[in-house]
Amino acid sequence: MEPASFPPITPQPSEPTRFTVEQYLALVEAEELTEADRVELLEGVIVAMTPSGIRHSSGVARAVGALFRAVGDRAVIRPQLPLRVGSWSLPEPDVAVLPGTLEDYDSRLPSEALLVIEVSETSLATDRLSKARIYASSGVHEYWIVNLRENVVELLRDPDPVTAIWRDRRVARPGETIAVAAFPDAAIRVDDLLPRGDSPGGL
């Protein structure tokens, strides 16, 4: 009788370790993660952030300036700082417009945003898929993607936290004016959000 033969055992890839926001913040407090690491927490996974290029940096600066002019001191405008969205995600959106005053966030992380903006080029897939779901599921009222590939602004509104989808999606193009939903009088020109020229690089 020939010995029975069995297919070789193929090791299964291990699941990545998932971290809660509290566990992630503990790593920061212990200085096991620092600003130099350039990471953020998305759905329990610590993810590296792509370095900023010229157009991405310009887009962030443009968005901050346009929001300051349109919204003024009626909200808090924070660029590239942590936003707590649920128990498993602590992204650092390019710009977040928060309710309240600066003092409201002196001792706690914001967990709600009137508007989040991501300036996107190489990160477009992540911003459209993973981050769109994360922002829709918890505490973000409106989401704009400044799409540097196509020179448009993708507007996502009316989130459904249960399904993590945005029920109202449209695209604004150069020449158009858009408003922050929380401040209908806060008009922003699409052209003011888009860097001039077509130099490569960016997030």
pLDDT score of 16: 65
- The residues, any chain, with a CB within 8 Å of residue 8's CB and separated by 6 or more, are none
Question: Which domains, ranges and CATH numbers included, belong to the chain?
Answer: 51-192 (3.90.1570.10)
Q: Over the chain, what is the mean pLDDT?
A: 91
Highest mean pLDDT among 11-20, 45-54, 148-157: 148-157
pLDDT band at 201 (very low <50, low <70, confident <90, very high): very low
Whether the per-residue pLDDT at 53 is higher than 70: the answer is: yes
Q: What mean pLDDT do residues 146-159 have?
A: 97
Q: What is the model's pTM?
A: 0.88
pLDDT band at 17 (very low <50, low <70, confident <90, very high): confident
Q: What percent of the chain has pLDDT over 90?
A: 81
pLDDT higher at 51 or 159:
159
Identify the burial level of 193 via C-beta atoms within 10 angstroms of its C-beta, where 0-12 means exposed, 13-18 middle and 19 or more buried.
Answer: buried
Whether the per-residue pLDDT at 15 is higher than 90: the answer is: no
pLDDT score of 145: 98
pLDDT band at 8 (very low <50, low <70, confident <90, very high): low
Q: What mean pLDDT do residues 198-202 have?
A: 48
Helices (H), the chain: 21-29, 54-71, 124-128, 130-137
- The residues, any chain, with a CB within 8 Å of residue 54's CB and separated by 6 or more, are 195, 199, 201, 202
